Amino acid sequence: MTNEVLNILEKRRSIRAYRPEQIKDEELDAILRAGTFAPTSRGMQSPFIVAVQNKDMANELRKMNARIMGAESDPYYGAPTIILVFVPEDFANGIYDATCVLENMMIAATSLNIGTCWIHREAEMFASDEGKLLMQKMGLPKGLKGIGALAAGYAAAEPAPAKERKEGYTRIIR
Protein backbone atom coordinates (compact mmCIF):
# COMPACT_ATOMS: atom_id res chain seq x y z
CA MET A 1 0.00 0.00 0.00
CA THR A 2 1.34 3.42 -0.93
CA ASN A 3 0.37 6.34 1.29
CA GLU A 4 2.25 9.59 1.97
CA VAL A 5 1.64 9.48 5.73
CA LEU A 6 2.90 5.90 5.96
CA ASN A 7 5.95 6.86 3.90
CA ILE A 8 6.74 9.74 6.26
CA LEU A 9 6.37 7.47 9.29
CA GLU A 10 8.90 5.07 7.77
CA LYS A 11 11.23 7.93 6.77
CA ARG A 12 11.45 9.58 10.23
CA ARG A 13 14.83 9.19 11.92
CA SER A 14 16.53 10.77 14.91
CA ILE A 15 18.90 13.43 13.61
CA ARG A 16 22.03 14.11 15.64
CA ALA A 17 23.82 16.71 13.48
CA TYR A 18 22.26 19.96 12.29
CA ARG A 19 23.13 22.79 9.96
CA PRO A 20 23.37 26.12 11.81
CA GLU A 21 20.67 28.03 9.88
CA GLN A 22 17.37 28.49 11.63
CA ILE A 23 14.25 26.80 10.28
CA LYS A 24 11.72 29.05 8.56
CA ASP A 25 8.92 30.58 10.62
CA GLU A 26 6.21 28.89 8.55
CA GLU A 27 7.90 25.51 9.08
CA LEU A 28 8.08 26.05 12.83
CA ASP A 29 4.46 27.20 12.90
CA ALA A 30 3.36 24.06 11.04
CA ILE A 31 5.33 21.80 13.40
CA LEU A 32 3.89 23.49 16.50
CA ARG A 33 0.37 23.39 15.04
CA ALA A 34 0.74 19.65 14.46
CA GLY A 35 1.60 19.31 18.15
CA THR A 36 -1.59 21.10 19.11
CA PHE A 37 -3.62 18.54 17.17
CA ALA A 38 -2.19 15.57 19.05
CA PRO A 39 -4.74 13.52 20.95
CA THR A 40 -5.02 14.49 24.60
CA SER A 41 -6.94 12.99 27.48
CA ARG A 42 -10.58 14.12 27.36
CA GLY A 43 -9.52 16.72 24.76
CA MET A 44 -8.11 18.88 27.57
CA GLN A 45 -5.02 19.98 25.60
CA SER A 46 -3.01 19.81 28.83
CA PRO A 47 0.52 20.20 27.37
CA PHE A 48 2.36 23.48 26.98
CA ILE A 49 4.67 23.68 23.96
CA VAL A 50 7.57 26.15 23.94
CA ALA A 51 9.88 26.64 20.96
CA VAL A 52 13.22 28.20 21.87
CA GLN A 53 15.21 29.88 19.12
CA ASN A 54 16.85 32.51 21.31
CA LYS A 55 20.54 31.56 21.36
CA ASP A 56 21.15 32.61 24.98
CA MET A 57 18.20 30.64 26.30
CA ALA A 58 19.05 27.67 24.06
CA ASN A 59 22.60 27.68 25.43
CA GLU A 60 21.22 27.76 28.96
CA LEU A 61 19.10 24.70 28.14
CA ARG A 62 22.13 22.95 26.60
CA LYS A 63 24.21 23.52 29.74
CA MET A 64 21.45 22.42 32.12
CA ASN A 65 20.78 19.22 30.18
CA ALA A 66 24.47 18.40 29.79
CA ARG A 67 25.02 18.86 33.53
CA ILE A 68 22.25 16.37 34.33
CA MET A 69 23.62 13.99 31.70
CA GLY A 70 27.07 14.31 33.28
CA ALA A 71 28.66 15.43 30.02
CA GLU A 72 30.02 18.54 28.38
CA SER A 73 28.70 17.74 24.90
CA ASP A 74 25.57 19.38 23.50
CA PRO A 75 22.59 17.12 24.27
CA TYR A 76 20.60 18.94 21.55
CA TYR A 77 23.26 18.23 18.92
CA GLY A 78 23.62 21.85 17.82
CA ALA A 79 20.01 22.13 16.68
CA PRO A 80 19.03 25.77 16.14
CA THR A 81 15.53 25.17 17.58
CA ILE A 82 14.66 23.40 20.82
CA ILE A 83 10.99 22.56 21.35
CA LEU A 84 10.02 21.81 24.95
CA VAL A 85 6.83 20.12 26.15
CA PHE A 86 5.47 20.59 29.67
CA VAL A 87 2.36 19.30 31.44
CA PRO A 88 0.66 20.04 34.77
CA GLU A 89 2.45 18.21 37.59
CA ASP A 90 -0.76 16.82 39.04
CA PHE A 91 -2.30 15.55 35.78
CA ALA A 92 -2.13 11.74 35.70
CA ASN A 93 -2.32 11.49 31.90
CA GLY A 94 0.08 14.32 31.20
CA ILE A 95 3.02 12.18 30.15
CA TYR A 96 0.84 10.36 27.61
CA ASP A 97 -0.52 13.61 26.21
CA ALA A 98 2.97 15.10 25.94
CA THR A 99 4.26 11.97 24.22
CA CYS A 100 1.57 12.29 21.55
CA VAL A 101 2.45 15.98 21.09
CA LEU A 102 6.14 15.17 20.62
CA GLU A 103 5.39 12.40 18.13
CA ASN A 104 3.00 14.57 16.10
CA MET A 105 5.67 17.26 15.87
CA MET A 106 8.35 14.77 14.78
CA ILE A 107 6.11 13.43 12.02
CA ALA A 108 5.17 16.94 10.87
CA ALA A 109 8.83 17.99 10.87
CA THR A 110 9.79 14.96 8.78
CA SER A 111 7.10 15.84 6.26
CA LEU A 112 8.75 19.28 5.92
CA ASN A 113 12.29 17.85 5.65
CA ILE A 114 13.14 19.17 9.11
CA GLY A 115 15.20 16.84 11.26
CA THR A 116 14.33 16.15 14.89
CA CYS A 117 15.60 14.13 17.81
CA TRP A 118 13.61 13.43 20.97
CA ILE A 119 15.67 14.59 23.96
CA HIS A 120 15.20 13.54 27.58
CA ARG A 121 16.13 14.92 31.01
CA GLU A 122 13.66 17.83 30.86
CA ALA A 123 11.88 16.39 33.92
CA GLU A 124 15.07 16.79 35.95
CA MET A 125 15.98 20.12 34.37
CA PHE A 126 12.70 21.81 35.17
CA ALA A 127 12.34 20.29 38.64
CA SER A 128 15.42 22.29 39.68
CA ASP A 129 15.30 25.85 41.00
CA GLU A 130 17.19 26.96 37.89
CA GLY A 131 14.61 25.24 35.69
CA LYS A 132 11.69 26.74 37.56
CA LEU A 133 13.21 30.19 37.11
CA LEU A 134 13.63 29.49 33.40
CA MET A 135 9.98 28.39 33.11
CA GLN A 136 9.01 31.67 34.75
CA LYS A 137 11.14 33.55 32.15
CA MET A 138 9.21 31.63 29.47
CA GLY A 139 5.93 32.94 30.90
CA LEU A 140 4.68 29.50 31.90
CA PRO A 141 2.29 29.01 34.82
CA LYS A 142 3.52 27.42 38.03
CA GLY A 143 2.87 23.74 38.63
CA LEU A 144 4.25 22.34 35.38
CA LYS A 145 6.83 19.63 34.80
CA GLY A 146 9.04 19.05 31.80
CA ILE A 147 8.39 15.88 29.82
CA GLY A 148 10.66 16.03 26.81
CA ALA A 149 12.08 18.13 24.02
CA LEU A 150 12.86 18.01 20.35
CA ALA A 151 16.08 19.19 18.82
CA ALA A 152 14.94 20.55 15.46
CA GLY A 153 16.66 21.87 12.36
CA TYR A 154 17.94 21.02 8.92
CA ALA A 155 19.95 17.80 8.99
CA ALA A 156 23.67 18.19 8.34
CA ALA A 157 23.75 14.80 6.60
CA GLU A 158 21.38 12.16 5.29
CA PRO A 159 20.19 9.89 8.10
CA ALA A 160 21.05 6.22 8.09
CA PRO A 161 18.41 3.95 6.61
CA ALA A 162 15.96 2.29 8.96
CA LYS A 163 17.00 -0.93 10.59
CA GLU A 164 15.09 -4.00 9.51
CA ARG A 165 12.03 -4.50 11.68
CA LYS A 166 12.51 -7.31 14.17
CA GLU A 167 10.76 -10.62 13.74
CA GLY A 168 7.63 -10.99 15.86
CA TYR A 169 7.24 -7.23 16.42
CA THR A 170 3.52 -7.46 15.73
CA ARG A 171 0.84 -10.08 16.15
CA ILE A 172 -2.64 -10.37 14.75
CA ILE A 173 -5.11 -12.40 16.74
CA ARG A 174 -8.20 -13.24 14.71
Model confidence pLDDT, tens digit, residues 52-107: 999 999 999 999 999 999 999 999 999 999 999 999 999 999 999 999 999 999 99
81 CB burial (10 A radius; 0-12, 13-18, 19+)? buried
Model confidence pLDDT, tens digit, residues 102-121: 999 999 999 999 999 999 99
Phi and psi of 164, rounded to 5°? -60, 145
> What's the longest Cα–Cα distance across the chain?
55
Instruction: Residue 124: count other Cβ atoms within 10 Å of its Cβ.
Output: 16
**CA angle (29, 57, 18) in 5-degree steps:** 60
Q: How far is CA 32 from CA 48, 66, 84, in A?
A: 11, 25, 11
For residue 52, give the H/E element and its range: strand 48-52
What are the structural domains of the chain? Answer: 38-153 (3.40.109.10)
> With bands split at pLDDT 50, 70 and 90, how would you rate the model's confidence at 1?
low
Q: How far is CA 17 from CA 153, 154, 160, 173, in A?
A: 9, 9, 12, 41
The pTM for the full model equals: 0.96
Average pLDDT over every residue of 147-151: 98
